[in-house]
Structure formats: C-alpha cells, structure tokens
Chains A and B, each alone.
Chain A
Amino acid sequence: MAVSETPPASEAQSIPKPPPAWLSILRMLYRDKFALCAAIFLIVVVFCAVFGPMLLGEAATDQNLRGRNTPPFDFSQHWTMWLGGDALGRPLLARIIVAAQNTMMIAAGAVLASLIIGTTLGLVAGYTGKAASQVIMRLADVIMSFPSLLLAVIVLYMLEPAVGNLIIVLAITRIPIYLRTSRAEVLEVRERMFVQAAQVMGASTFRIVFRHILPVVAPTLITIATLDFAFVMLAESSLSFLGIGIQPPEITWGLMVSQGRSYLTSAWWLSFWPGLAIILTTLSLNLLSNWMRTALDPVQRWRLEISRKKK
C-alpha cells in the first residue's frame, strides 16, 4: 500500500465563501420569479389583514341601498367601489381588505395549531414505544372517522360561535393529517444511519428528534400545511353558511362567497372577488412553500443558486 495519504487536489471541489445568509436568501427568492410574486402578494395580504380594519372598517360596513349589486369596473365611483358593491351596497374591495384579518386569523390559527399539535403527537408516536403510539393512533382514527362538519356543528352549537372556538374546532379536525404523515416519516428516518451515529455519541432522545429527525420531516409537513390553508378557509365558509361560524356583521372571505351565492346568476362579482382572493392566497402559499423546500435543502439549493440557462 504505497499510497500517499493526502487526497489529490482534484478531489476537493472549489466553492467560494458564501455571502451573508439574508442576502443569499433574497437572491434565491429573486431567482424564482413565481415565488417572488407569491411573496409580494402575501406581504400585501398580511398588510391588509393588519391595517385593513383600522383604515377601512367604516367604509366596509357603510350601507348604500341605492348602490345594491353595483357592477364592477365603474371607475367614476369612489375607488372602494371599483370591484362593485354587494347586496346591501357595501363596497366589495373594502370588504375584502377588511375580511382579510378574520380569514387569515382563522386559517393561520387553525393550520398552525393542527400542525404543531399533530407533528408533536406524530413524533411521539413514531419515536417512542408501542403503548403511547397505539393510544395516539387510535385517537387519530376516532377523529378521522367522525365527520368533521358534524363535530363542528355539535361543538359550535354548545359553545359560542367565536373566532377562537372556530379555530379550535377546525384545528382538531385537521390534526390526524399531520399526525399520520409525521409518524410514517419518523418511522423511516429513525432507522437511518445518522440517527444511529447520534445515538452512539450519546445524544438524548430530545436532541435526536428535534435536531436530526424533525428537519428531515418538516418540508413534507409544511407543504401539506399550505395545501390545508385553502381547505380550512373553505371549511370555515361552510360553517359560516350554516350560521354557526362567523356571524355578520363580522366578515370573512368564505362568508362573502356564501353570501353572494344567492345572487350568482344576477351579480357574479359578489362571490367571484372573495373567491379569487382565496385562490390567489393558497396559490401563493403553495409556490412559496415549494421554493422554501428547495431553498432549505442543502442538497437541492444549487438549483436556485446557479443562474438559469437556456435548455
């Protein structure tokens, strides 16, 4: 074995020193034009949610019965009427902006709560012993087999139909999705060799689960969560439609869609604009989560770091 021990120079790949983290993230976002548009749109939505009710709260509830179902694109009117007026002559654009707050609060709250609870239970079920896993999984089966709308009706009938309760109900019904996914992934990842390597070093269970397993599982769960965002928005609207969700004069996009339903044949814009807001928000979240999955994975990141070449 007359071989020198140092590796040949060609073996090492030359990679320049990385720029600061925030700069490289922005640069990667700029590379993916779809994700960039999505991010801008979401910033606008968040801005509306935070400041909308403060700025346009009055205008959104201002009835004007002469302007019932005003058609959109009438630019001679005040700018809040450009998207038309609803059945009570209230400006649609202002209402959409104001409704963003409730909609976002319910959807984000329910998705985050179910994501965190579901993932935690899934990690426990996947990594610990059989007994805990059995209890958790059967619990998930119970929730899954129970019609979610029925559950919501029962709970909201007994409790006050407020934003907080709505979040709780929607979160509970979505927990099993994260739970089952994270458990299945954990069962696979825990057998990988780097987990064994951490065990040999004496790493605690907490460390193995949060440092080694969770980062591998997280991208899948985040993708599911963004898809779920739309589902929760629509579920909330169906509850509102049944009269056990958000109560007028409070508004959400989902409620606006269902309120406009009775005028669909005569005034399509009542349902269309809030529906479009729901679609665009979900689409943006999806595009952004797709970008994030690539950007967070060191193996895939180069796809965003190299400049696009023509094929």
Chain B
Amino acid sequence: MSHLLEVRNLTVDFHTAQGTVHAVRDVSWHLDRGECLAILGESGSGKSVSASAVMNLIDCPPGEIVSGEILFEGEDLLKMPSERRRDLNGRRVAMIFQDPLSHLNPVYTVGFQISEMMTTHGEPKDKARARTLELMKRVGIPDHENKFDQYPHQFSGGQRQRLMIAMALAMKPDILVADEPTTALDVTVQAQILRLLEELQAEYGMGLLLITHDLGVVAEVADRVVVMNAGEIVESGTAQQVYKAPVHPYTKKLIAAVPGEGEMAEPVGQDEPVLKIDNLRKVYGGFTALDDATLTVLPCETVAIVGESGSGKSTLAKTVLRLEDATSGAAYYDGRDLVSLPAKELFELRRHIQMVFQDPTQSLNPRMSVYDIVSEAFAIHPDILPKAKWKARVQELLEQVGLEAAHMSRYPHQFSGGQRQRIAIARALALEPQLIICDEAVSALDVSIQAQVIQLLKRLQKELGLSYLFIAHDLPLVRDFAHRVVVMQGGKIVEQGPVREIFESPREKYTKDLLTASPHPDPEVQAERRKARMELEKTA
C-alpha cells in the first residue's frame, strides 16, 4: 500500500572544493496521514537534507540528487515538471523554519504575507483575507483584527512562529514539514508551540514531519522517530521503543549524553564569597533590564543563573564585567567594588574574572591563530609570564582543555564547534582566573559535545579551584552541573537556592512553570510532565 509521503533510497551529494560530501546516503522513510515522524540528529548528520529534497530546496549545484525517489501519494516528486512541483509546494506540502524572523519579509505586513500564500495559489483576495483572520485567531494571536496590518518586528518570537504556522496552514496542506520549529524559542513558549502543532495536526489530519536535535521535543510530539548520523539512518521505530531500547551504539550514546539524569551536586561549605553582588541595577532609558539583583558566589562553587530571553541574565554578566556600566548597586570581588573601580585597578582585577561566550565562532578572532589567541592574555598582562615561556604555557593550556600542541598554528575555522569552545576556555584559563562567567557557553553545541565540555569544566573546577557563574536557559544541564541555582524573570531574581531544593521543591510558580515546560527525553515522563503543566495552567 502506498504512504502519503515516502522517501526511497535517497542519496544526495554536495560537490564542494574539498571534494564530494555525501550529505545523505541511501535514506528511506515514510509518513502517513495524521502521524508525526521526527528526524533526529546532531548538526551535520544530514537530518534536514531529505526534507529539503522534498521541498525542492536543495541548490543544484553544488547539490546533486544522485539516486532515489520521493513519492507523494505514489507520484515521484523528482520526476515531476517544476511547474507542477511549485503548485504542490505550499498548497499540499508546507514548511516552517527555525528562525521565523529571517523567514518573514520585514517590509510587508504579516496579514499580507499570509494571504499572499493563498492568492498565489489562485484564491480571490477577499476570501484570502477572511481566511487569514480566521487562521490568526486559530494559532492564538490576540487582537488578530488589528494585528493583520502590523509588521513582523512588532511580534514576539513565539508569535512570529505562530504566524509562520498560520502561513503554512493557509492552504490546508496534507504535510507540514517543521525544521527545528522551537529551537530559537524559550522553553515555556516551546511547550505552547508544540501543543499548537499537535492540535492542528489532529484537526487537519496532516502528516507532520519534525526535524530536531532535541530528544525532549521528540518525546513530546513524535509518534515515530528516525535517528540519523553522518548521512545515514542508524535507527528507527516508535519514540517509546527508541528511547527505551536503543539498538545502535550511536543512539545509545545520544541518549546517554542527555543531561538531567546525573546526581545533583551538594552545596559547598560556607566560606568567604568570591563574588558578592549587591542590589545591582541596570536601566536602559525607561526599561529596567536588571532590577536589584543580589547574589553571592563561593569558592569552588558553580552558581547557575537560569531564565528565559529578556530575563536580564546576560545583562547581569555584562555589568559585573563592566562591559556595560551599572546604574546603581555594587559587585564586590576581593572586597573591591567592580562597578565603581577606577580603570587602572579594574585592569588588575580583569585577570581574576574571565568569561566564556556563547558562540565560539564569533568570540574567537578569525584572523588570529590559536597561539595568538591564547597568548594574547600574556601580551596584555605582561607580568604573568616572560615571553620565552609563552609557547610552553600555551601548549600546556591546550593539553589541559583536551587539545593538542600541534593545534597551535591553526586558525579557529579549522576546528569543530566543541573544539572552538575548548580554545575559548583555554584563553580564559591563560589569565589564571578565580571566577569564570559562562554566558550560555554550551548552548550552541550538540548534546554529546555539550556533555564533554561540561565534563571539562567540572574537571578544571576540581583541579584549579575555579568558581563559575553559569548562565543558561537549559534546565536539565544546570541540574547536572550547578551547586546553586538562581532563577530570573523580567530582570528580577525570582528564587534562589541549592540545586536540589530548586529542582525538587520549587516555591515560586515561575520556577514550576519552567520545570514542567522543559521537555524530558522519556516519552512516559514527558506525558506526566504535560499533565502537570495542564494542571498548573488550570489553577492559574
């Protein structure tokens, strides 16, 4: 019998200057009506390629579809004339993307863009408008009549994703392809969007093809899952089956790397704090980004600051490091107030507090070699080390973070994401700091690489007696790593305490919301969480 959509033995190559890359090799999967199939994989696994092939989004050249067929209701899409394919795209098969801001045109109103979807497929204008309003209401845009004539920048990230979904649904497609639809969103918003997708799928009887790297998302919505690694399918089955009884070693490794399962750390003993932040406040114009934050970091302690976007957690880091000037308040390090310190004394203190940034691709200067990047610390602070010893020390630092001495003469682009973050850590360590502020230091990395970097940070803490101020949005990760947790919302600290207390008996509603919204990779546990979330919503 024929499936709604079936990909058979698809092989796609990309011809690059360094040679041919087999993006996907001999991949087969199928999707039926009313079902949700998830394609799970890390970056570079080829998970998006087969979906791009379905949507005719592969650039040829450099791409080339070498072999295979894509059957839509039994008809091969690859042999179809492009005229007919365009007609199917959007009308029968629709797609939503990871970053809705870059996929909505900033110079047209959202109402126009949604109705354009229908007018290009031949609907009359007034009918399209009525249907657009209906869709905007359905995907949960409040005050939809007035929002029709607004521009994309006037909406929040979650609302933009809702608009993208509305646009995709305009022609009542049979298949909805969602490429990392919630990766750029906060956990609470992610939960809402996933629920909306599920409801709509049931309502329209669509087949939902979900491409993701997040096992939690798979557990929340997927019926079946296909696991991809290096262009090949390594495992497939129901979500339950794959999680409970993985067969392939890669799947096992992937599941083992998921954070949130390990032992929680016990609080470190009382001691004189390394960093004491006192009523720190930052106001931009009339907007209070940081509202009277007070917290301490003890020696050898990891304090995690969690919160969603706009909660002020990065502002906190920036004001402590004096990348931004605080409006009021103080941050004491070693008895000296970082916020009001004159430039010369601040320069000396810079050595003791370092930072690891979110995206190592951007935080390493692309025109400097690894040696230049790491040894720059010694050039800035000449009293650390005489020039003759730089090379030996850089080598030592690189080995400390799990790289090799031979990497010294290379440039950042020659490394993978995880290795780049190791270079950034080596750079921070070069100044022999006591406190390292990690601003989302692992969130740009794949799950298995994330685990490795966290492991590295833990080891360095033990060896060097470091304290971390770890800013993150990923709760399971924090659970494994932090000693204490600070929860922030809208610039304010909502709750803080030892990690066990926050995760097992949270007091504030916002903390509870966050905990129930963060998806768990076990479909059974996830089902329970969802129940808890619904109840929380009812009581609210």
Contacts and interface: CB of A to CB of B under 8 A. Distances in A.
A207 B256 CA distance: 45
Contacts of A12: 404, 419
Contact of A5 (B253, B321, B459): B459
A108 B480 CA distance: 62
Nearest to B404: A12
Given A200-B355, A302-B17, A1 B455 contact: yes
A197 B367 contact: no
Nearest to A196: B323
Interface stretch (B159-167, B284-292, B293-301, B356-364): B356-364
Contacts of A203: 376, 380
Contact of A192 (B353, B362, B414, B449): B362
Interface in B347-373: 347, 350-351, 353-355, 357-359, 362-367, 369
Nearest to A198: B376
B451 interface: yes
B455 A298 contact: no
Given A1-B262, A5-B402, A6-B402, A299 B366 contact: yes
B414 A13 contact: yes
Interface in B309-364: 321, 323, 346-347, 350-351, 353-355, 357-359, 362-364
Contact of B452 (A7, A199, A215, A299): A7
B456 A194 contact: no
A139 to B, nearest CB: 29
B455 A5 contact: yes
A193 B359 contact: yes
Contacts of B262: 1
A1 B413 contact: no
Interface in A179-223: 192-194, 196-204, 207, 211-212, 215-216
B34 to A, nearest CB: 36
Nearest to A18: B409
B234 interface: no
A1 B347 CA distance: 38
B365 A201 contact: no
Given A5-B452, A12-B419, A202-B380, A299 B411 contact: yes
A197 B409 CA distance: 20
A18 B409 CA distance: 9
A26 interface: no
B448 A201 contact: no
A195 to B, nearest CB: 9
How many residues of A sit at the interface, in one of the four size bands? Answer: 35 or more
A4 B453 CA distance: 10
Contacts of A204: 380
Contacts of B416: 7, 11
Majority secondary structure of chain A interface residues (helix, strand, loop or mixed): loop
Contact of B413 (A4, A298, A303): A298
A16 to B, nearest CB: 10
Contacts of B451: 1, 3
B257 interface: yes
B27 interface: no
A131 interface: no
B10 to A, nearest CB: 24
B402 A202 contact: no
A193 B455 contact: no
B149 to A, nearest CB: 32
A306 interface: yes
A240 B309 CA distance: 64
Contacts of A298: 366-367, 369, 411, 413
B105 to A, nearest CB: 23
A289 B323 CA distance: 37
A197 B357 contact: yes
A297 interface: yes
Nearest to B369: A298
Contacts of A11: 416, 418-419
A303 B418 contact: no
A200 B452 contact: no
A13 B414 CA distance: 7
B431 interface: yes
B17 A306 contact: yes
Nearest to B253: A3
B495 to A, nearest CB: 25
Contacts of B492: none
Contacts of A3: 253, 256-257, 448, 451-452, 455
22 contacts: A1-B256, A2-B256, A3-B452, A5-B402, A7-B418, A7-B449, A11-B419, A12-B419, A194-B363, A197-B364, A200-B321, A201-B350, A201-B381, A202-B346, A202-B347, A204-B380, A215-B367, A298-B369, A298-B411, A298-B413, A303-B17, A306-B18
Given A1-B259, A13-B414, 20 more contacts: A1-B257, A1-B262, A3-B256, A3-B448, A4-B455, A5-B452, A7-B452, A15-B414, A192-B362, A193-B363, A194-B365, A197-B363, A197-B424, A200-B323, A201-B354, A201-B427, A202-B347, A202-B381, A207-B379, A215-B367
Report the 9 A-B pairs with minimum CB-CB distance, sorted nearest first. A202-B350, A298-B411, A5-B455, A193-B362, A193-B363, A3-B451, A194-B365, A200-B355, A215-B367
